Amino acid sequence: MSIPKLILQEQWQRLGWPGWTGGLLLLLALGYGGLVLLPERQHLATLKQRTSQAVEYRERLEQGLEVPPAAPGQQVDDFYQALPAQMDATTAIDRIYVLAEQEHISLSRGEYALGVDPKTQLVRYQILLPVRGSYPQLRRFLHGLLAELPAVVLEEVDFRRKQIADAQLEGRIRMTLYLSRL
Residues 109-138 pLDDT 10s: 888 888 888 887 788 889 999 999 888 999
Cβ atoms < 10 Å from Cβ of 131 = 23
Least confident range from 78-87, 97-106, 110-119: namely: 78-87
* Residues in CB range of 90: below 8 A, 6 or more apart: none
- Would you say the C-alpha torsion 166, 168, 174, 176 has a positive or negative sign? positive
pLDDT computed for residue 53 by the predictor:
94
Cβ atoms < 10 Å from Cβ of 149 = 18
Confidence of residue 80 (pLDDT cuts 50, 70, 90): confident
